[in-house]
Chains A and B, each alone.
Chain A
Amino acid sequence: MIEAKGIGKVYSVKKKKSFFRSEKQIVRAVNGLNLTINEGEIVGLLGLNGAGKTTTIKMLSTLLNPSEGTITVDGLDAVQDAIQVKAMVNMIAGGERMLYWRLTGAENLRYFGKLYGLSGNALEKRIKYLLDIVGLTNASDTPVELYSKGMKQRLQIARGLINDPKYLFLDEPTLGLDAPVAKQLRGMVKTLAKSDRKGILLTSHYLEEVEELCDRVYIIEKGSLILHDTPENITASVVKDYHVTIETSVLSAPVQYRMKQGLIGCTLGFTENADSTVMQIKAPFDPTAQIIDLCVKESVSIQKLELKRPRLEDAILALAKEKSA
């Protein structure tokens, strides 16, 4: 288990005042954050730009020392025992860096593999295996500078897995990727956690991605934790509304009235079209079954029915609204 206790990070930045004078300024990027990651679990770290996600990931992966608090990885201290910790973790960032563009995919992995102490047959086997699971076997002897964005990102994943890390940190791994590539990558992440039992921390801009993948989510703002729960609970606790849109044959006023009577606690709105009526229903519960019952009773034919579940995105928006109110 990875356990971060009260970690914080303070950067000092020089602010130029004029050509000769500059002033030191303190930026508190992360502030008293507590966080755990278990094996086999995907944990999300959410927040707006500048919330401190990357800084947190850099501290967890030993690149930065926390200004305060401690991080332990299976009981080892990330600062004192950095060498052992480095062997157990790895980090993948979105974008196209962290690879040697002049080298081929296989050469990149060979280089990094050796830096993790692998060699000989074991290394070659690992390289082959990784290129296979990221689908780059055919491109293994092509220089990385000729790779597409998605291919580079997949090679990064292979690099991040070269030391078979127990814990993996992904900083916006799907940034700038096409939808199908991003989807494939999400599948890979899921497998890594669920089949290979790796503990994964994921930051992402895309809330749907987080909702789909993560078992638990930490939401941070200006470096401080504001919420920690499962995506379902966050959504349920913050957004209480289900939205159903249903298009039926034209409804007469009495039918509309009886519908309103029948759906207690819901808010209904009607839009009349030439040959149909569109009904908008907002409810604190899932009203689909009741609506269908009513339609059957009134002999109304349903042309289209759409249920919008509350999404994590709505929750975050609602939270932001609450804060600013």
Chain B
Amino acid sequence: MWLPFSATFQRNYLVMKRAFPWSFFLGHILSGFYIIIFAYLSYFFVFKKDLSSSFSTYAGTNDYLSYVILGGLLYSFSVSLLMIASRALITELREGTLESLLLTPSSRKGYFLGYVAQGLMRVCVEFAVITSAGYFFGLHLHHINWPGVLSVLVILVAATFSQALVLGSFMLYFRDTYITQNTLFVMMGLVCSITFPASFLPDGLRWIGNIMPLTYGVDALRMVWIEGKPLVETIQLLWKMIILGLVYFPIGSFLIKRMEKYVLEKHFG
């Protein structure tokens, strides 16, 4: 598993170095940015700094700006990561390299981990850029529980990775990235407590948020970041992410394996 990991990591690193995917990079930063600006403007000009009391009850904080900025930050983090992992195989298919990959007896897990590990390099840069931009719009950076932040992110990465395998299988099945990914991402922006607590949503929509690791990740991150709370207080949220990851992983692995064969049968010419 180590060799395919390092092979894939190195390959993508070289490709990134030679042709930095500026459009994805800027796209992700902008999507985080828009959320921040939208929240900033509505806070000052629509609500006029007047939050309803139900917001603070549901959100667990009064610091609306930090709440939304962290939402935007983690949203773009999660979307980036989902895109990197889920598009891996369909990109190979489009570039005509899927067959040469599937000819090898290599472990697909090592391949995906290498892909994601390399992708995280870029995602972390995006994260840093959005964080510093957020700072100017009022994201506070003091009394943060940094080890807590790191732990939340690690668990979120693992759970999102599993989710990406499922998403990737859908992309292979429909041979589409655009509609599949954008439907999911718009949905995630709406139901994952990014700009407002999911509890405001009608029940018919809330369950969608409940099966997204991001919903729990973003709430946990806010607790350890905005309120500086100890990690133990987020333990319930962390467990939910871990369980989602453990559910998505076998489903995703199974589906990806099936879809690899499927796509070879369907794609020709």
Contact = CB atoms under 8 A, between A and B. Distances in A.
Do A and B pair up? The answer is yes
Interface of A: 11, 54, 58, 61-65, 82-84, 86-87, 90-91, 93, 96-103, 107, 110-112, 114-117, 119, 143, 159, 163
Contacts of A107: 11, 14
Interface string B15-38: 100110000000000000000000
Nearest to A85: B105
Interface stretch (B96-104, B135-143, B165-173, B201-209): B96-104
B48 interface: no
B56 interface: no
A63 B104 contact: no
A61 B96 contact: no
Interface of B: 3-4, 6-8, 10-11, 14-15, 18-19, 95-97, 99-106, 111, 261, 264-265, 268
B100 A99 contact: yes
B104 to A, nearest CB: 4
A196 B168 CA distance: 41
B264 A63 contact: yes
Contact of A117 (B96, B100, B105, B261): B105
Nearest to B6: A114
B101 A115 contact: yes
Contacts of A82: 105
Contact of A98 (B8, B18, B96, B261): B96
Contacts of B6: 114
A62 B97 CA distance: 16
B97 A98 contact: yes
Contacts of A65: 261
Nearest to A10: B265
B264 A86 contact: no
Contacts of B3: 114-115, 117, 119
A103 to B, nearest CB: 6
Contact of A103 (B14, B100, B104): B14
26 contacts: A11-B265, A63-B103, A64-B264, A64-B265, A86-B104, A87-B105, A90-B103, A93-B99, A99-B97, A99-B100, A100-B15, A100-B95, A102-B19, A103-B11, A111-B8, A111-B11, A114-B4, A115-B7, A115-B101, A115-B105, A116-B104, A116-B105, A117-B3, A119-B3, A159-B100, A163-B104
Given A58-B264, A97-B100, A116-B106, 5 more contacts: A64-B264, A86-B103, A90-B103, A100-B95, A114-B4
A63 B7 contact: no
A87 B107 CA distance: 13
A110 B265 CA distance: 28
A63 B100 contact: no
Contacts of A90: 103
